[in-house]
Structure 1
């Protein structure tokens, strides 16, 4: 059953003879006036308000503040006394007492309750305690907080109500910002804008562009990312309206943070693979980073380092049916560099990286391990000596590093796709550790490598005609690799 629950710290009845009220009373009456209950009052009550008879009643008797609040004030306000739930706390709360108090509060708040908070009473840390309880219950039991108020006792004995609900709602903004900087999505930020009535079109457009980028990245729509980043760059140029409230002010400050967040991605939208990979790794989007590298790293490397098949190598690539319609850079990396496979039919493996020798051994998947630098160097010796590849010899070690990094990318991608596959235990010395720390380190190493070769341009050897990295392979007729 839904209840309107008021959280408060009970203030002691004042000693001023001209004031015949207690600060929490005004908050209760405010909620009752707006038909917000309360159906239950969870009151943190210190030893002072529970045990000291400081209230002088008109009949000459004295009572404690709790007794006055329960037996005099609540009935006069038309609220049953049994709605008051006393939660005893010491007069001064240390960490242990605060833990006990918040535990008792949380235990009495039920799912579907709607909270109001009265910040009138208690020490400064009490307000934080009540707000913390409310925020915890929002996430734990979907309990919403409708009002955050406090009353100010004036010198004439009347009270003035202050509403701090908008300040409290800034916690939602903080949560939304945390979500963005940890996951890269701005869905909660956009939802917060709508809930607060913020209508600045520049902010809404920017968040929509960021969300589109986040969605395309999450779904590995690699080809759409450059356009998304271009749209974000354009949205960041639109000047926001002048700040008129706290929400608008914080969003304008956040706009500057967006610029910093996307600075690396926007620096060179057509050549930003290193920045994209780093961004994904920082936001723990490992599968997305691996997909980006799988699809874009071969072309990226070949745009900066000269390596391509000779006519003999091209003829072999063209003879493979699975290469039909693909740019030549992809099979070169995906098959030959990843497997140390030569571009010829006889004795194709310089080093056998196969973990399984038949697709039937691993649910239809051929699994390959990773090579070491010595094995990669030997492969490059063989493929060059047999006239299958031509490279710029000055960057041979960078090409070999690219091939080794690509092997790691492909194995991690396959391991994640087949994480429950026991076949990866067949040759543990060629299997990379499958944990987030090693994946993140690998991604950062690859991103650093790609950033290092970014200024380089391919130096084509004399007498060689460079192949465009986008050149596709025509249909073949030979059997697959």
Structure 2
């Protein structure tokens, strides 16, 4: 039992009584096959019927036609016709008579149906008992854009009436170009419903060969729409599904290896595995650049292979800040791409490391020695607990995120830590509304935590390459962002189900502001 339904979609062209019968040819399995026809749309339909029949006796189930007022009218009335009495033998006039139809009454649409049905029966007698079904979508001769869109949508509905599992063949020759292009656009939308555009056909009338006018398969060219969509999907959403589907038939193993590498990298990004993203990004960049360098000296011959170099250039451009940038650039890139959870994770997990490495907030020589001694003693005395709290994390991260606030603070003599400034001004006024996206309570809490870190600097245990006022703002931002990451991970733990923390826009602003500040102070 045939599972897939085969449907041909086209916009019908008129036929002239004084038109010639042309010979067309197409390639199938390395062989040349010829068909003949007076009407532009005849040859594509005949070629599909033949090819399906050779492929295990498959059949064309339905033809969906967009038909203008002219093509629904009589052939005899077509404005390009000459006096029928001037027609020579072997003309379409004889063809109409051979079909048993009245030359004075037959329409362009009826002619198409009659000639296609007769051809189908000649190929397979099964079409006599179960003929091809037709769905006609009417459209005015000079259709407005909204009428073109409605016709294309109606045609798509007819295609999908066959069920979801459809192989769609598109004849791109007939009708106005705007209608034909709209049909192609709608066919891309139909892919969402599992309608597979099997083939897009066009005739090259300008370059006939010895076998006739070629019926060209244009799918790989028109699928550039998919290519653009695939690049957009990966650059903006980190997904590779469309690109993998577009290049699935490529014989270039390098392309499949790169797509797999892109998918693995994007999976790390989607899962917020910051360590894996940072460890793997150089590998991905090298694969992309190597392919680009190779194709400049050895360009491919397949259409898709040639286009993949375009994909690589766009990925390298779209991912530039993520692949080449430092941590502030990575965070800003994530915010710009709406990867907010990823930006929060990068900031809270990797920024303490970046603070140390860049000199923004790093231990003095004596503090580093004290910290190393603590780690060594803790590991020797309680290895299991040490591994849980410190051993599985980056050493630089643990110093700021764990050691200072949990251990180091207890080493200060009692009374040496600041107890607050006793200020009378609003805390938001003090910072000139730089933190107006958060509440006063959140800002005060973050400032108190920042003061704890600043005490380390006052005690000579921390060095910094930035000024104290800017360092304090950086530390406030860090202590504002860190709880937002925790809130995002446990967004609905409260009884109301609403969760806590900043809104989406405020979180984006805070992240971008924090990353931007770090870039500026390090210039």
TM-score, reference length from structure 1: 0.75
- What does 1:317-356 correspond to in 2, within 5 Å? 325=391, 327=395, 330=398, 332-333=400-401
Higher mean Cα deviation, 107-116 or 218-227? 218-227
Structure 1 counterpart of 2:63, from 23, 30, 41: 41
Aligned to 1:77: 120
Structure 1 counterpart of 2:74, from 33, 39, 52: 52
Q: State the Cα distance separating 1:88 from its structure 2 match.
A: 1.0
Q: State the Cα distance separating 1:187 from its structure 2 match.
A: 4.8
Contact 2:446–2:479, Cα closer than 8 Å, also in 1: no
User: d(CA) in 2 for partners of 1:378 and 1:89?
Assistant: 69
Aligned to 2:338: 284
Structure 1 132/266 Cα, relative in aligned 2: closer, same or farther at 3 Å?
A: closer
Q: State the Cα distance separating 1:392 from its structure 2 match.
A: 5.0
Structure 2 counterpart of 1:434, from 503, 506, 510: 503
User: d(CA) in 1 for partners of 2:286 and 2:257?
Assistant: 10
Aligned to 1:24: 41
Aligned to 1:89: 139
Q: State the Cα distance separating 1:66 from its structure 2 match.
A: 1.4
Structure 1 16/200 Cα, relative in aligned 2: closer, same or farther at 3 Å?
A: farther
User: d(CA) in 2 for partners of 1:316 and 1:228?
Assistant: 32
Structure 1 307/170 Cα, relative in aligned 2: closer, same or farther at 3 Å?
A: closer
Aligned to 2:520: 452
User: d(CA) in 2 for partners of 1:153 and 1:169?
Assistant: 22
Structure 1 153/301 Cα, relative in aligned 2: closer, same or farther at 3 Å?
A: closer
Q: State the Cα distance separating 1:252 from its structure 2 match.
A: 1.7
User: d(CA) in 1 for partners of 2:458 and 2:116?
Assistant: 97
Q: State the Cα distance separating 1:281 from its structure 2 match.
A: 2.2
Structure 1 332/350 Cα, relative in aligned 2: closer, same or farther at 3 Å?
A: farther
Is 1:226 matched up with 2:294?
Answer: no
Q: State the Cα distance separating 1:97 from its structure 2 match.
A: 0.7
The total of aligned residue pairs comes to 426
Q: Deviations over 1:277-315 (max 9, x none)?
A: 22322332222222222121112113312454887x979
Q: Deviations over 1:170-189 (max 9, x none)?
A: 33322221211112344543
Aligned to 1:461: none
3-state DSSP of counterpart to 1:145 = strand
User: d(CA) in 2 for partners of 1:128 and 1:255?
Assistant: 28
Q: State the Cα distance separating 1:15 from its structure 2 match.
A: 3.6
Contact 1:343–1:388, Cα closer than 8 Å, also in 2: no
Aligned to 2:6: 4
Q: State the Cα distance separating 1:153 from its structure 2 match.
A: 6.6
User: d(CA) in 1 for partners of 2:497 and 2:15?
Assistant: 72
3-state DSSP of counterpart to 1:62 = coil
In the alignment, structure 2 segments of 5+ residues that lack a partner are 22-36, 53-57, 78-92, 122-126, 421-439
Structure 1 38/175 Cα, relative in aligned 2: closer, same or farther at 3 Å?
A: same
Q: Deviations over 1:218-265 (max 9, x none)?
A: 233333333312213432135233132332222223333333334434
3-state DSSP of counterpart to 2:70 = helix
Structure 1 447/205 Cα, relative in aligned 2: closer, same or farther at 3 Å?
A: farther
Is 1:395 matched up with 2:443?
Answer: no
In the alignment, structure 1 segments of 5+ residues that lack a partner are 352-367, 456-481
Structure 1 74/151 Cα, relative in aligned 2: closer, same or farther at 3 Å?
A: farther
Aligned to 1:466: none
Q: CA RMSD in A?
A: 4.1
Aligned to 2:15: 13
Is 1:253 matched up with 2:310?
Answer: yes
Is 1:142 matched up with 2:197?
Answer: no
Runs in 1 of length 4+ with deviation above 6 angstroms?
153-156, 313-322, 335-338, 341-349, 423-426
Contact 1:47–1:88, Cα closer than 8 Å, also in 2: yes
Structure 2 counterpart of 1:410, from 460, 482, 491: 482
